[in-house]
Amino acid sequence: MKHLTSIRELDRASAVSILDNADELAGVNSREVKKLPALRGKTVVNLFYENSTRTRISFEIAAKRLSADVINFSLATSSVSKGESLKDTAQTLEALGADAIVIRHPMSGAAHTLATKGWISGSVVNAGDGSHEHPTQALLDALTIRQLKNSGSDLKGLSVLIVGDIQHSRVARSNCLLLTLLGAKVTLAGPETLLPQTFREMGCEISHSFEEALETKPDVVMMLRVQRERMQGSFFPSEREYAAKWSLAGERLKMLGKETAILHPGPINRGFEISSAAADDPRSAVLAQVKNGLSVRMAVLYKLMAGEG
């Protein structure tokens, strides 16, 4: 395996092996010397066309823990249309010695294009492309759920509810594909304008009532961030109405089972899609997700760059 641009590139066994490796590599993060020599002499470039603090830092630390050299290259979104082309940028970075490019891009398919156009010979890792996919986020979510639920190697028998702006969410898409691949039942919930029926074809159930979805007692509830710019598109009448019907707060928080895990990919809009009470609830796994992000990204970089598999 050379690239990771979509969960579709994984089968069950390779997904489980990434999760297993991540669990193993997590040990490094609690050592006094938090480093392995696995990628010594290799260079990883974080090519970010979108602002993202947590994902970029997570990839950066992951690469450094494996002893790779890391270069961060961030470009404003506006330069995508005005400045140097993706092809020229990527070829320049490779000429400078990049062995892998971790790319975040506002356009769906950009990582796939970079991996398949023949512009470069190195590995490509998708760190989020438009509203298409964010595979390492799904892997870290799967790892978090597996750890919390002690479900063995995969997620068989577990039910996961993903709530919010599904339509524009790459996290939702990657999770639909990965969690179902690992045997979980995934239900998506959100207002119909943000959750088209076509998501059924990705193997998910669909609900347009948060309460009804909660009554099925899911093992995990994953809240998605709602981007405020969606308001301009008339996807819902007002922030107030959205919060009233779709935030994880108040009575709905009380409907959660004792063992139900609360996940959120961050950054959180407290008081909008999730209340502070829910975000700070002991069932919230948000910080476990961040930690797992680090080990999952180590496992992915290792798998793609150290010649394994």
Partner 1 sequence: MRLLKGVRLASGEVTDITIEAGKIARIGKSKESGLDCSGLIALPGFVDLHTHLRQPGFEASETVLSGSRSGVAGGYTALFAMANSDPVADNASVVEQVMTLGQEAGLLEVRPIGAVTKGLGGEELSALGLMASSAAKVRVFSDDGHCVHDPLVMLRALTYVKGLGGVVAQHAQEPRLTEGSQMNAGALSTELGLKGWPAVAEESIIARDALLAEQVGARLHICHLTTAGAVDVVRWAKARGIQITAEVTPHHLMLTEDLVRTYDPVFKVNPPLRTREDTLALREALIDGTIDIIGTDHAPHSSEKKDCEWDQAAFGMVGLEHAASVAQEVLIESGASDWERFTEVLSSKPAQIGSLGDQGSLKEGQEANITLVDPAASREIQAETLSLSRNNPFAGLTLKGQVVHTLFRGKFSFRDGKVKNA
Which residues of this protein are in contact with partner 1, per CB under 8 A? Answer: 80-81, 85-87, 105, 107-110, 112-113, 116-117, 129-133, 167, 170, 173, 196, 198-199, 201-202
Active site residue 297: no
Nearer to partner 1, 109 or 183 (CB): 109
Residue (88 or 241) nearer to partner 1, CB: 88
Q: Of 12, 31, 34, 54, which one is the catalytic site residue?
A: 54
- Catalytic residue selected from 3, 42, 104, 291: 104
Q: Which two tokens stand for residue 127?
A: 């760190």
Active site residue 55: yes
Catalytic residue, from 134, 146, 252, 297: name it.
134
Minimum distance of partner 1 from residue 217's CB (angstroms):
28
Least gap, CB of 295 to partner 1 (angstroms): 27
**Judged by CB, which is closer to partner 1: 105, or 252?**
105
Closer of 107 and 231 to partner 1 (Cβ): 107
The two structure tokens encoding residue 162: 């993903």
**CA–CA distance, 85 with 70 (Å, rounded to integer):** 22
Question: CB of residue 132 vs partner 1: minimum separation in angstroms?
Answer: 3
DSSP secondary structure letters along the chain:
---BS-GGG--HHHHHHHHHHHHHHHHHHTSSS----TTTT-EEEEEESS--HHHHHHHHHHHHHTT-EEEEEE--THHHHHSS-HHHHHHHHHHTT-SEEEEEESSTTHHHHHHHSSS--SEEEEEEETTTB-HHHHHHHHHHHHHHHT-TTS-TT-EEEEES--TT-HHHHHHHHHHHHTT-EEEEES-GGGS-GGGGGGT-EEES-HHHHHHT--SEEEEPP--GGGGGGTSSS-HHHHHHHHSB-HHHHHHS-TT-EEE--S---BTTTB-HHHHTSTTB-HHHHHHHHHHHHHHHHHHHHS---
Q: In the bound complex, what is the minimum distance in angstroms from residue 128's beta carbon to partner 1? A: 10
- The catalytic position among 5, 43, 55, 136 is 55
Q: Specify the residue, 101 or 286, whose C-beta has the smaller distance to partner 1.
A: 101
Give min distance, CB of 206 to partner 1, in A. Answer: 12
Catalytic residue status for 40: no
- Known catalytic residue at 104: yes
The answer to whether residue 134 is catalytic is: yes
List the catalytic residues. 54-55, 82, 104, 134
